[in-house]
A = this chain, B = another copy of it.
Amino acid sequence: MDISQRIELALDATVTRATSSGCPKQLAAALSYAVFPGGARVRPRLCLAVATACGDEFPLLADSAAAAIELLHCASLVHDDMPCFDNAELRRGRPSVHQNFGEPVALLTGDALIVAAFELLGRCIPSEPVRAARLLSIVGSSVGSPSGIISGQAWECEETVPLAEYHRAKTGSLFAAATTAGALSGGGQCDLWRTLGEKLGEAYQIADDICDMVADPAIRGKPANRDADRGKPNAADALGLDGAIQRLKRLLGEAVECVPACPGQAELRVHIARSAQPYLPKELALVAA
């Protein structure tokens, strides 16, 4: 089974469980809507690519980690799109969850996705308790407070925003969870894989900022120039478009270089070199590394 199939199967099993008998209809519909069809599934693909490169020793853990990370990412999108934050009407080319189901259901959908992610990780404990405990800690700290994606989003509520800390928490933390959780599940030494995740998180943030500035909203599935409109920091704005592209290429090159030794190192390097392309506009073809 390829990586995409593994991700969709694990997500489907979890959403099916969460929307099973007894679930209020609106909540059930919104949970499916928030997860399917997905975006690029960047984080779970990275997680499984790393697990595979490390030997894929514990595939149940790897699939659960990948799906949990994606569910938490989806939860953050649902909540970040709400009127009190980005007030985004579109997501993945169609109405955002609160636009389609109303704010109350959107709020609960994000909450339920968070809980479903941790229940999924909890189900790994019986077969692999030691690794499951580390997995839960890796994923939990990458999402929660003081330095996960929730804290990253909370920096937007402060008067002064330390840019590096903001990006590290808001984007980098979940990418670092993807690489470390992937390594742990694959049989590798997870601590060695953090830097790769952090570099890819930074690269993704810059790619997203470039996208926000130049991409066609019809292709991207969400409006352009949201950052400028909302006064949010944007690397393409700060560095200029050429500067941002150079920086993105440099980061991807560094990411390729820093892949730790593992059975599938060569294939993983190829995966990473190509990984930024799908979420960049076509006119910005990258040849990284």
**Chain A 133-160 interface 0/1 with B at a Cβ cutoff of 8 Å (1 = within):** 1001100110111111011011111100
Q: Which of A83-140 contact B (CB under 8 A)?
A: 84-85, 102-105, 107-108, 110-112, 114-116, 118-119, 121-123, 125-126, 129-130, 132-133, 136-137, 140
- Cα(A104)–Cα(B87), bound, Å: 11
Instruction: Output the nearest chain B residue to A23 by Cβ-Cβ distance.
Output: B146
Tell me if A225 counts as interface (CB < 8 A to partner B). no
Asked if B111 and A79 make an inter-chain contact with CB atoms under 8 angstroms apart, the answer reads yes
Residue A119 contacts which of B17, B18, B129, B144 (CB distance < 8 angstroms)?
Answer: B144
Tell me if A4 counts as interface (CB < 8 A to partner B). no
Residue A107 contacts which of B18, B84, B105 (CB distance < 8 angstroms)?
Answer: B84
- Cα(A107)–Cα(B84), bound, Å: 9
Q: Distance in Å from the Cβ of A184 to the closest Cβ of chain B?
A: 14
**Residues of chain B within 8 A of A20, CB atoms compared:** 146
Asked if B22 and A157 make an inter-chain contact with CB atoms under 8 angstroms apart, the answer reads no
- Cα(A165)–Cα(B116), bound, Å: 20
**Residues of chain B within 8 A of A141, CB atoms compared:** 119
Q: Which of A1-27 contact B (CB under 8 A)?
A: 17-27
Tell me if A31 counts as interface (CB < 8 A to partner B). yes
Asked if B112 and A151 make an inter-chain contact with CB atoms under 8 angstroms apart, the answer reads yes
